[in-house]
Every structure is written in structure tokens, then in C-alpha cells.
Amino acid sequence: MRPNVLFILVDGLRADQCYGVDKKSHTPFLDSLINDGVYFNNAFSSVDGTILALSTIFNSLFPFNTGVRERRIVFTDNNIFNIFQKNKYHIFGLVPDMEIYEPLKKKFENKLNSYDWINGNESLATGLTKKIIDILQSNNSEPWISYFHVLDLHPLREGKIPKGIEEFESSDFGSSSYSKTVSSIDYWFGKILECVDLSNTIIILTSDHGEKIPYKGITNTDMEHRLDRTKKIGKSILPKKTHEKAGKMLSKIRTSISKPKIIIENQELTNYQKRSRTPYFTLSLHDESLHVPILIVGKGISQCLIKNFVRHVDILPTLCDILHFELPQKINGVSLKPLLEQKQIQENIQYLHTIPYEKPHQDDAVGIRTNKYKYFRSAQNPNKNIHLYNLQKDPHENHNISQNNQNVVKELEEELSRLIKNPITFNEEMSDEDDKKIEEELKKMGYL
Amino acid sequence: MKDLNLILILIDSGRQDYMIKSEMIRKLRSKFSFFTNVITYAPHTIASMHAIFSGCYGNRTGTNSYWSTFKFKKNKFKTLAEYLYELGFKTYADVHSDIVSPKQGFNQFRIYDEETVDITTRHCDLLNEISNERKKFFVYLHYSKIHTGIKNEVLKKYSNFSEDYYKNLKLNEERYERLFHESENYLNEILETICSLELEKNSIILIMSDHGISIGEKMGEIAYGAFCYDYTLKTLSLIKFPEITPIQINQQIRSIDMMPTILDILDIQVDKQFDELDGRTLMPLILGNNMDEEIAYSETGNPLNEKRPPREPNTMSVRTSKWKFIHNVHNNTKELYDLENDPSETKNLFGTNLDIENYLWEKLENIRNNF
């Protein structure tokens, strides 16, 4: 009997909050899964944002292959869901109700396949758990793969406290809102997995990217002068069409007042700590934004902690290998199954790219990561914003050593160029729905 | 970047010879750079417009047929609308179908009902609406009434092999003249509106057609999209922006050159994160300088006896100003025409030991296989 596959992705879940000495959250359930399965504690995403990360995972392709400026998830012919479908699996899932997930929703057989994410209205504590359980309990068609995308940590990005974590307020569940939310997620996962036949299921747990946890809970924005009174007066006396301009001006004033204060406040901090205080949507290729958990547990998987450097692109071929599916061609990932069998594999390179803002941004960066080095620079200009870190000596990337290591920079830039210059060509998937739409339009235009 | 809007007026199915003869177009010569010999990538709207917007041939972008709008490789090719959108332009398209051009980069992609629409009023209203915006804008106005007329009076009545159609060439000409004349009226009103709104002062105005159309020249093609002959491949472009010195350029250029030309006029750098363009800027010609002629590649899908166009192209051509080489993949035949002495492409010179034959065959193979 072929196992079902439960694929859970927790948006923004940091690897160090799942396992290791820096872990502050209380996650007994996750701990037990790690004890029973294979946990990769040195796994990395290619990007610091969701859209490109999901395209990377689902297609086993680096973002420069699927498109670094895409605003929706891209599926190639070789995507994970097509592969499972080809192997006669049923596909179910639940994702936030957002435009970027539209191509993904089309993969699911269940009609109720999205949930209200705005303002964290549906978190695991406030209804999402039930929806997931309902889907799992109605999955009568086996084998299946189910994908659940959990956004419980997302409200923190907007400076909000996620709904339903009141019961995890005690310091037993962590020192930050982030770790408390992770503790809450763990509790609800326990409830979900009570409804899953673990003897015939493989569970994959990962995240799309990491996240910042503000040092001592303070962000730079918290230190800014609010100027609320000025804003209120301005709004009441200025005509509406000037509000946008006035807002921008006020923001400049606010920054100019608070900048010296922030500099003083942050002066004793390391670069890692300073970065933790920048706004959540600041583009970043540092490890706190890229280090992700990858856990595989369930039928036929033996317990193992794997310290090798692995990547999101490796998930799909690994899964195919475990399930004895034909390994897809034209991908960037490799199967990690040999590692599960205590064998060694060659270390591979990770391609890095920042998530695109709506418009190209001066902070857009591109780079590569090996187990030893992190190299990145401006996406537009190879000679700008060059960063190099020795990850073994400086895991928190406090010291940019690019100036004194020009040879390493040159070598890694050449490696990056080689990678980018050889993109994998593939056919972008065209659904039956797209085909029908074209047929209708061609009829309307008189061509059929 | 230069502080200019962009207004693209697209005359769907505008034949080059009719446009050149048009009194209305003739009047514009004193204000515009006038390209009289623009070769389209595809003699049908969908692939043609995707090539115009991306500055690249469809064999590379993925949109090479009627069926491939959704196959456009968005991650590898950046469209004109995307460039402008990213630079803060408000971008509008007003077209007759959801699939005729790439939608990415448009703030508003409006669709009208080609059967019932009063396009002139609609587009004049749109220009009025946009001119009140504070932002820079790009508007793409697609005039589809020639297509609509041909659809109702030709495509619905005849097949590509209806002898009745080819017997009555006079009727075909009169029909096209009537439809073309309506497009002149449309263009006249749009340009008057642009003038009255004083948009000429701060806008690039680009007028072009996507492909020509048959009026019965060759058996097997009642309208367009089946062959790669000049009556459907040749189009025309007029471009105008402040401080331009009007010029007529008769040299062969390609419709894929218009997108890099616009970027150049606006001082926008080509985004190196995307694949290279096939087109090139025509600014040297606009400024009165010389440029070497580039070979123009075109392709289409001949439906033959089927009632639907094929999903992949089966007819390709390369063209210089003097010669045309065609490969009909569906029956593996080749054609070679001396365009200077035989502009109607009636005398196939393939197999007559002309040196140009091998040269053009090699060029066609190189471009066709470059994807």
C-alpha cells in the first residue's frame, strides 16, 4: 500500500526555533517527530520570500529558472503535483486566499481549498485546524498528497500579535511573540496529527523562508517618533489629494528625527542583532531569512539527524526517490535519500535571490551559498553591495570579509555566472482550463 | 528616463499598401518618423502582438501560434508594459480579446465586445480619462473593426479554398477599402482627441498594424495566418515624440524593433536579468543615420484543410529587402522569391541554383533553432 503524503509548510518558520541550542519555543510534539524521523538541521531556502520559495520547492528549480520577478507561483510540467498525479495520487490542500496561490489551488481536488488570511483571521487556533482536519478526514481517495500552508507567524510581520496565542503567553513557551507562536503551532499540529494514520503516511514539514526575531523585542520602527498629533492635524487641514505627498514628507521627518536615536540605541549591537531590528519586509539573504527546517517522518523513514548542507530544491527528488517514482529530469535538486541511508553525497551549491518587490529595488540581491561561504551582491550590478561571509567562523554573518578576500569573491562570482548562464529550459504548464479559454476566444474571434 | 507618456494605436489587419496610399496617413508624414516597410513576426494578431510587446520572436518566447498566449515565458521575457509599469507608469490596454497580447504589466486590461462596441468613442473617452491622471501613462488602443468585418463577411462565409472568394477580387477589394476607410476615420478622431488634450507635447505616439490581410491574392488564404507572403507580412509604423524631425524610412525593419526603440526613446536600460532581445533600437534611423538591414524572420501555422489553426507553426520565412525564402514544413517544400522584380511572389525561384538560396536557408535554420 503506497503511503499518503502530508506536506505542511509553515510560512516564516525559522530552523533554530525547531531544533538546536537557540531554540526558545516549547514544541514537544515537533520534538517527538524529530526523534522519530529525519531532520535536516542545515537546510536553506534560495529566497527570503514565499512566491519564489514555493516555485523552487514545487519544481526543484532555482528562481532564475522559474523567474525572479514572478508574482504568482510558477508550475513547470515537472512540478511535484503533476508527478504525484502521474503516479495516481489524489491531491488535496488548503492555502491562504491570496492571488499568488491561484495556480496552486487549481491542483487541489477539494473545493474548499483556501482560508481567510487577512489580519490572521483564520489561524490554527481560530478555525484553520478544523478545516485541515475536515479535509484529511474526507480524503477517502487514497493514496493522496495534501499540502497545507500555515500563515500563523505572518501577522508578526505586520507588527501584530497572531490570534489565539493567549494560552501561550507564559514564558514557558518562549521569550518572544515569535517563539510563543511557534509553541502554539506545535500544539495545534498535535491535534491535527491525531487524525492521521501515521503508519501509512509520510509527513514533510518545512518553511518557505526564515524570519527576523527582533533583538530584545525592539524594532527600529518602535524607536521612531510617531508624530501622530502632527499627522492628525495635517489630515484635518490639508486637502485630500495632498495626503500622499504629505505622508511621504512626514515619513522623511520621522526617519530624520529617529535615525540618530536608533544609531545610539543599536551602537553596541552586532550586525546580526541590528539586522533583526530592521522592518520585516527588508530584503535579506542572510541566514536568519533563509535557514529553514526540513523534516521527513513516517512510513519507512528511520530516525536520523542530518547535518549536511541541503536545499529546498532537494525536497522533490528526495520524495520521488523515497516513493520510488521516476526521478524528474531538468531539475536543480538532487535526491537526499543516500543520506537517509547513512551514505554520503557530494555537496551542492545553493543559488540565492531576494524576493521581488513590485518594482526593481536597489536592495535586490543575488548570490550563492556553500557550506563554508555566503556570497551575494546587487542583482543589477555585480560590483555593488558585495558581501562575503565565512559561515563556519561567523555563522551570524557579522563580518563582511569581501574586501580582504577578493579571490574568493571572484571565484564565487564565476560560479554564480556559470549557474545563471546555463538556465534550464522547460515548458510552462498550460492547464486544460487555459486551453478551453483559448478555444472559446478563438471561436469568438472567428478562427475556429 | 525621459518624462513622456506612450500612446500605442494598433490598427489590426492594416495592410501596408493601403496605409501608404491613405490620404490620412499621408498627412501624418510631416510630423512622424514613417517606417514604410515593417515586417511582422507573425501574420496573425496573437503571436504578432506578443512579439511586438517583448521585442522577441515567438519561437523564443513561447507564443508562436494562435494557441500559445499562456505559453509566453514570463520569467525570461519582459514586456514593454512591464518595463513601464515598474517605472511608475499607469498602464492601460483596451482590446477585443483576453488573449491577443501579454497582460502582464497592465494596471488595467480592458476588453470590449468587438461586435457592439463604438471603438472611437470608447478610446476617446479613455484618453480623456487618462489625461486627468497625474501619473505618466502607457495606453494601448487596439482597433479591431477591420478584423470584425472580415470575420463576419469572409471567415464565416468562405473557407481558405472557396473558389467563390477568389473569383470576385473586386468585391474583396471594395470590402477591404470600406473597412480600411473606417479605420482612417477612427485614427483621425483619436489623433484629434490627442491633440485637443495636448498630449502630443509630452507623449510618444506610435501607430502601427500587426499584420496585413489577403484580398484573394493566393488560393489557400482568404484572410491571414496561412502563408508568409508579403500582403500579410508587410506592415507600417509611424512614431512621433517631442522634438522629432520627421523622416521617411523605406529600409526593411521588423515589428520586434519597435519595443527596443521605445525603450531607447525613453532612456530605459534593457533589463539584463531577462533573456536578450531579438529586436534592436531604430533610433539611428530616426536620427537620419544608417543601419545595416537585419533579416526578418516570420512564421505561422497553415491550417491547410482543417478548420482550426495548428498549435505549432508549420510555415516559416526569412526576408531581406530583396529576397524571401519560405519553408513549408507541412509538406517540406521551399520557395524563393526575388522581391524587387516579383513583389507579388508569383515566380518560385527555389532550385534554380541561386547562391542566395543556401544563404537564406542557413539563416532560417539559425533563427528557427534559436530557442
Best B59, B65, B74 member to test A by mutation, with max A CBs in 10 Å, is B74
**A437 with B71: Cβ contact below 8 A:** no
For residue A437, being part of any structural domain is answered with no
Which chain B positions have a beta carbon within 8 Å of A444's beta carbon? 97
Using CA atoms, how far apart are residues A327 and A315, in angstroms rounded to an integer? 12
User: What local confidence, expressed as pLDDT, does residue A220 receive?
Assistant: 75
Last residue of a domain, one of A296, A319, A340: A340
Chain B contact present for A65, CB below 8 A: yes
User: What local confidence, expressed as pLDDT, does residue A426 receive?
Assistant: 64
Q: Report whether pLDDT(A225) > 70.
A: no
User: What local confidence, expressed as pLDDT, does residue A34 receive?
Assistant: 96
Best A74, A424, A441 member to test B by mutation, with max B CBs in 10 Å, is A441
A173 and A272 co-located in one domain: no
Pairing of strands B253-254, A201-206: unpaired
Q: Residue A243 — very low, low, confident or very high, per pLDDT cuts 50/70/90?
A: confident
A227 contact partners, CB below 8 Å, separation of at least 6: A250, A253, A254, A257
A295 and A204 co-located in one domain: yes
Q: Pick from A272, A302, A308: which is nearest to A287 by CA?
A: A272
Q: Kindly tell me the sign of the dihedral angle through the C-alpha atoms of A235, A236, A239, A240.
A: positive
**Regarding the domain delimited by B5-286, which CATH topology (the fold level of the hierarchy) does it fall under?**
Alkaline Phosphatase, subunit A (3.40.720)
A46 and A192 co-located in one domain: yes
User: What local confidence, expressed as pLDDT, does residue A132 receive?
Assistant: 97
- Domain limits, chain B: 5-286, 296-368
Using CA atoms, how far apart are residues B72 and B216, in angstroms rounded to an integer? 32
User: What local confidence, expressed as pLDDT, does residue A432 receive?
Assistant: 76
Chain B contact present for A68, CB below 8 A: yes
B223 contact partners, CB below 8 Å, separation of at least 6: B13, B150, B154, B155, B213, B214
User: What local confidence, expressed as pLDDT, does residue A158 receive?
Assistant: 79
For residue A443, being part of any structural domain is answered with no
Nearest to A445 among B71, B73, B97 (CB): B97
For residue A296, being part of any structural domain is answered with yes
Mean pLDDT score, B358-369: 92
More confident residue, A230 or A292: A292
Q: Residue A200 — very low, low, confident or very high, per pLDDT cuts 50/70/90?
A: very high
| A395-403 LR contacts (CB < 8 Å, sep 24+) | A395/A287, A396/A270, A396/A271, A396/A272, A396/A287, A397/A271, A397/A272, A397/A286, A397/A287, A398/A270, A398/A271, A398/A272, A399/A271, A402/A375
Which chain A positions have a beta carbon within 8 Å of B225's beta carbon? 447
Per residue in A381-393, pLDDT tens? 899 999 999 999 9
Which chain B positions have a beta carbon within 8 Å of A67's beta carbon? 74-76
Computed over every residue of chain A, the mean pLDDT equals 90
Asked if A214 and A276 count as a contact pair (C-beta separation under 8 A), the reply is yes
Mean pLDDT score, A157-175: 88
Q: How many residues does chain A have?
A: 448
A264 and A118 co-located in one domain: no
Asked if A76 and A429 count as a contact pair (C-beta separation under 8 A), the reply is yes
3-state secondary structure at position A292:
strand
User: What local confidence, expressed as pLDDT, does residue A120 receive?
Assistant: 64
| Neighbour order of strands in the sheet with B296-300 | B296-300, B315-319, B323-328, B333-338
Which burial class, exposed, middle or buried, applies to A242 when counting CB atoms under 10 A from its CB (0-12, 13-18, 19+)?
Answer: exposed
Mean pLDDT score, A281-285: 90
Phi-psi category of residue B298: left, alpha or beta, with phi > 0 → left and psi -120 to 50 → alpha = beta
Q: Pick from A425, A423, A443: which is nearest to A435 by CA?
A: A443
φ, ψ dihedrals at A303, nearest 5°:
-65, 135
A27 and A157 co-located in one domain: yes
**Cα A215-A218-A222 angle, rounded to 5 deg:** 155
Which chain A positions have a beta carbon within 8 Å of B147's beta carbon? 445
For residue B109, the distance in angstroms to the closest alpha carbon of chain A comes to 16
Q: Pick from B284, B258, B124, B122: which is nearest to B189 by CA?
A: B124
Mean pLDDT score, B150-166: 96
Q: Report whether pLDDT(B138) > 70.
A: yes
Mean pLDDT score, A301-306: 94
User: What local confidence, expressed as pLDDT, does residue A119 receive?
Assistant: 67
Which chain A positions have a beta carbon within 8 Å of B156's beta carbon? 446
The x, y and z cell numbers of residue A296, run together, are 521527513
- Provide the whole-model pTM: 0.64
Range of the domain at A98: 4-212+284-340
Which chain A positions have a beta carbon within 8 Å of B70's beta carbon? 428, 430, 434, 438
A25 and A120 co-located in one domain: yes
Asked if B222 and B46 count as a contact pair (C-beta separation under 8 A), the reply is no
**B99 with A441: Cβ contact below 8 A:** yes
Asked if A47 and A209 count as a contact pair (C-beta separation under 8 A), the reply is yes
A155 and A260 co-located in one domain: no
Q: CA torsion A404→A407→A408→A410, rounded to 10°?
A: 120
Last residue of a domain, one of A315, A340, A365: A340
Q: Report whether pLDDT(B371) > 70.
A: no
Q: Report whether pLDDT(A239) > 90.
A: no
Asked if B52 and B43 count as a contact pair (C-beta separation under 8 A), the reply is no
Name, of A37-51, A231-245, A247-261, the range with top average pLDDT.
A37-51
A253 and A291 co-located in one domain: no
For residue A371, being part of any structural domain is answered with no
Q: Which residue of chain B comes nearest to A353, CA vs CA? A: B273
User: What local confidence, expressed as pLDDT, does residue B22 receive?
Assistant: 96
**A438 with B69: Cβ contact below 8 A:** yes
Which chain B positions have a beta carbon within 8 Å of A434's beta carbon? 70
Rg of chain A, C-alpha, whole Å: 23
For residue A382, the distance in angstroms to the closest alpha carbon of chain B comes to 12
Mean pLDDT score, A89-113: 93
3-state helix, strand and coil shares in percent for chain B, rounded to the nearest 5? 35, 20, 45
For residue A261, being part of any structural domain is answered with yes
For residue A24, being part of any structural domain is answered with yes
Chain B contact present for A86, CB below 8 A: no
Mean pLDDT score, A272-287: 91
**B75 with A70: Cβ contact below 8 A:** yes
Pick the CATH number of B296-368 from 3.20.20.140, 3.90.1150.10, 3.30.1120.10, 3.40.50.970: 3.30.1120.10
Which chain B positions have a beta carbon within 8 Å of A427's beta carbon? 62, 71
Which burial class, exposed, middle or buried, applies to B315 when counting CB atoms under 10 A from its CB (0-12, 13-18, 19+)?
Answer: buried
User: How far is CA A136 from each of CA A4, A146, A198, A326, rounded to the nearest angstrom?
Assistant: 11, 8, 12, 27
Q: Pick from B353, B354, B335: which is nearest to B345 by CA?
A: B335
What are the E-state strand segments in chain B? 5-11, 33-39, 90-95, 108-111, 137-143, 203-209, 234-240, 247-249, 253-254, 296-300, 315-319, 323-328, 333-338
% of residues, chain B, pLDDT over 70? 100
| Residue at grid coordinates 507579388 | B344
Nearest to A70 among B66, B67, B74 (CB): B74
Which burial class, exposed, middle or buried, applies to A405 when counting CB atoms under 10 A from its CB (0-12, 13-18, 19+)?
Answer: middle
A179 and A323 co-located in one domain: yes
User: How far is CA A60 from each of CA A31, A63, A314, A328, B22, rounded to the nearest angstrom?
Assistant: 28, 10, 7, 9, 55
Using CA atoms, how far apart are residues A413 and A434, in angstroms rounded to an integer? 40
- The answer, yes or no, to whether the previous bond of A143 is cis (omega within 30 of 0) is yes
**CATH code for the domain of A198:** 3.40.720.10
Which chain B positions have a beta carbon within 8 Å of A362's beta carbon? none
Nearest to A446 among B71, B156, B273 (CB): B156
Q: Residue B208 — very low, low, confident or very high, per pLDDT cuts 50/70/90?
A: very high
Which chain A positions have a beta carbon within 8 Å of B71's beta carbon? 427-428, 430
| Residue at grid coordinates 551575494 | A376
Pairing of strands B108-111, B90-95: parallel
A136 and A43 co-located in one domain: yes
For residue B81, the distance in angstroms to the closest alpha carbon of chain A comes to 13
Using CA atoms, how far apart are residues B297 and B295, in angstroms rounded to an integer? 6
End-to-end C-alpha distance for chain B, whole angstroms: 31
Per residue in B211-262, pLDDT tens? 999 999 999 999 999 999 999 999 999 999 998 999 999 999 999 999 999 9
| Residue at grid coordinates 524587387 | B340
- DSSP 8-state class, residue A197: -
**Cα B30-B33-B39 angle, rounded to 5 deg:** 130
Which chain A positions have a beta carbon within 8 Å of B88's beta carbon? 359
For residue B308, the distance in angstroms to the closest alpha carbon of chain A comes to 5
Residues 348-387 of A with CB under 8 A from B: 358-360, 379-380
Q: Residue A358 — very low, low, confident or very high, per pLDDT cuts 50/70/90?
A: low
A47 and A159 co-located in one domain: yes
Q: Which residue of chain B comes nearest to A448, CA vs CA? A: B308
- DSSP 8-state class, residue B295: P
A401 contact partners, CB below 8 Å, separation of at least 6: A388, A389, A390, A394
For residue A221, being part of any structural domain is answered with yes
What total number of domains does chain A contain? 2
Size of interface A-B (CB pairs under 8 A): 68
Count Cα neighbours of A280 within 13 Å in the Cβ-side half-sphere.
17
For residue B134, the distance in angstroms to the closest alpha carbon of chain A comes to 11
More confident residue, B18 or A244: B18
Count Cα neighbours of B46 within 13 Å in the Cβ-side half-sphere.
25
Mean pLDDT score, A179-184: 96
For residue A323, being part of any structural domain is answered with yes
Asked if A374 and A48 count as a contact pair (C-beta separation under 8 A), the reply is no
Largest Cα–Cα distance of chain B, in whole Å?
62
**B86 with A359: Cβ contact below 8 A:** yes
**B71 with A360: Cβ contact below 8 A:** no
Q: Report whether pLDDT(A268) > 90.
A: no
Mean pLDDT score, B53-82: 93
Which chain A positions have a beta carbon within 8 Å of B271's beta carbon? 360
Best A354, A384, A445 member to test B by mutation, with max B CBs in 10 Å, is A445
Chain B contact present for A52, CB below 8 A: no
Which chain B positions have a beta carbon within 8 Å of A68's beta carbon? 75, 273
User: What local confidence, expressed as pLDDT, does residue A267 receive?
Assistant: 82
A76 and A145 co-located in one domain: yes
Q: Which residue of chain A comes nearest to B271, CA vs CA? A: A380
Q: Report whether pLDDT(A311) > 70.
A: yes
Nearest to B75 among A74, A358, A448 (CB): A74
Last residue of a domain, one of A308, A340, A372: A340
